[in-house]
Amino acid sequence: MKLSILDQTPLYIGETVADALQASKELAVLADKLGYTRYWITEHHDLKHVACPAPEILISYLGAHTKRIRIGAGAILLPHYKPYKVAETFNTLATLFPGRIDLGLGRAPGGSAEATTALSGRFLEEVRRMPEKVEELLRFMRRSFPQNHMYHSLDAAPVPTLAPEPWLLGTGMKSAKLAAKNKMSYAFGYFMSDKDGNELLDTYRSEFVGSNPYTLLAVSVICSETKERAEELAHWVHVLNDIQSKGEKKLPTLEEAKEINVEPNPSSKLIAGTIDDVVQQLEELKTNYQPDELMITTMIPSRRDRLSSFQLIGEALIQQ
């Protein structure tokens, strides 16, 4: 089974941002050692519990400390940026780390209304232009502007020997169709979508322009050595989700969460349990959705438990 990691660079109570970024490096090194396929960094702005607004910078740091694993963004939020600049940035990364760079694209704001305005000022208009911006970015990366286009002779330098692999991340039909139209690999955010994943993935595969559609399913997972610990950590996640749904920003400690009674959301897709439980549920997901790859994200209030979760899964499913 191909397994990868989506890192949201969690920032825990009592930590500095520097601590959180160093922890991402530590996890990337472990993932490289265990044989995970790729390691992606998310983009968020002015959120109190996550630490990375600039994945392109953290990617270069992770690349310098790893040897084999693919590294990338999951995702660069394209409505905020000019395609040319994004192409230049990721071409530079692909020049530094040949054959290892992924460029995942998304359309979410990634933060508050104030942060969104500070970044782009015209976010909704830029979201509407997403198909146009994706096409322009890909033409820069593929050097495929027609001869009569004003950018025909313009390179997004440096031009790497191996271009970054373009991905589209999404949770709905628009993203599935856009990825298929543009011959992009498609990452479906299973853990954050209420859509029918099978319908989206089938649409992507059937409408893919070309012969090599590639799909990834992103899943929220907690794996622990005991069921009791896994349930404790899962309860914290449900409490966090409830708090955030009410607009509150305070991150609870594990002890505080234990005192809060919250029923899990019936639509929650969190997988939590011992390694046997997790392996069984991941195998079921793979059977049901037929993705080419699974990507795991884990947001829990303990660095030690987070590292242990990825290690248990990697040892069971990659190094078996």
Please tell me the predicted confidence (pLDDT) of residue 211: 92
Residue-range definition of the domain harbouring residue 25? 3-218+273-317
Q: Per the domain annotation, does 102 fall within a domain?
A: yes
For 25, 253, 302, the CA distances from 14, given in Å and listed in that order, are 19, 10, 12
Residue 183, token pair as written in the block = 């011959």
Name the region of 263 (left: φ>0; alpha: ψ -120 to 50; beta: rest).
Answer: beta
Contact 95, 160 (CB under 8 A): yes
Q: How many other C-beta atoms can be found within 10 angstroms of the C-beta atom of residue 258?
A: 13
Q: Per the domain annotation, does 33 fall within a domain?
A: yes
For 35, 163, 253, the CA distances from 166, given in Å and listed in that order, are 22, 9, 37
Contact 18, 26 (CB under 8 A): no
- pLDDT by residue (tens digit) across 183-215? 999 999 999 999 989 999 999 999 999 999 999
Query: Backbone phi, then psi, for 76, in 5-degree steps?
Result: -70, 130
- 55: preceding bond cis by omega (within 30 degrees): no
Please tell me the predicted confidence (pLDDT) of residue 268: 85
Please tell me the predicted confidence (pLDDT) of residue 304: 94
Q: Which segments in the chain show pLDDT lower than 50?
A: none
Residue 262, token pair as written in the block = 């919250």
Residue 144, token pair as written in the block = 């495929």
Q: Per the domain annotation, does 211 fall within a domain?
A: yes
Q: Per the domain annotation, does 230 fall within a domain?
A: no
Q: Per the domain annotation, does 202 fall within a domain?
A: yes
Instruction: Look up the CATH number of the domain holding residue 97.
Output: 3.20.20.30
- pLDDT by residue (tens digit) across 80-99? 999 999 999 999 999 999 99
Total count of domains within the chain = 1
Which of 195, 265, 270 lies closest to 230 in space, CA to CA?
270
Q: Per the domain annotation, does 234 fall within a domain?
A: no
Q: Per the domain annotation, does 154 fall within a domain?
A: yes
Q: Per the domain annotation, does 253 fall within a domain?
A: no
The label of the residue with tokens 């509407």 reads 128
